[in-house]
Amino acid sequence: MTRLILASTSPYRRQLLERFGLPFTALAPQVDETPLPGEPPARTARRLAEAKARAVAATLDEACHVIGSDQVAHLGDERFGKPGSVERAVAQLQRMRGRTVEFSTAVCVLDEQGRAQTELVPTRVRFRADLTDAELVRYVERERPLDCAGSAKAEGLGIALLEVIESSDPTALIGLPLIATARMLRRLGWTLP
């Protein structure tokens, strides 16, 4: 059987992929995640998902199926990356308060010959307008979403910051759209329920 590789060190993506019950290995992709000049957020997510899969595939000695994923949180052209600090996380959430933010999540699966299947799953998230600064600080200190695009971990306490989530796949917001991933893996011969 062909090996399955997740091109990610994200614990969230790893936990999501574990839902399938398939054996896989997670490897860190070495990719510059800087957006290209003038590149729309959705295009950035698609490009980086494939770039991560290809970067890991290039390090392997055997043919494998490699999954790469990327997410860009944005409000129009304004992007919200991984904050990295409590202060930046609070500032991001203050900026998103009462607004609808789009999370463009892309997944790419490479076959043994390096042919790519890529899908983009957008998720629109409306943040509560009545969030106080004290609530945001408490949330960030408790949840520590410093490695999450947009600082909101919807799979945890971050769900309390939101009014509405609109998506065709709820796992896309967490970072790996499993419906699309399952569809692509089935095309490659993986057995899923």
Question: Which positions are catalytic?
Answer: 70
- Which of helix, strand or coil describes residue 42? helix
**Pair 122, 104: CB distance under 8 Å:** yes
Instruction: State the Cα–Cα distance between residues 191 and 186, nearest whole angstrom.
Output: 6
Separation in Å, CA 189 to CA 1, 3, 62, 161: 10, 12, 18, 40
User: Pairing between strand 25-27 and 64-75?
Assistant: unpaired
User: Which helix (H) or strand (E) is 133 found in, with range?
Assistant: helix 133-143
- Cα of first residue to Cα of last residue in the chain, in angstroms, is 18
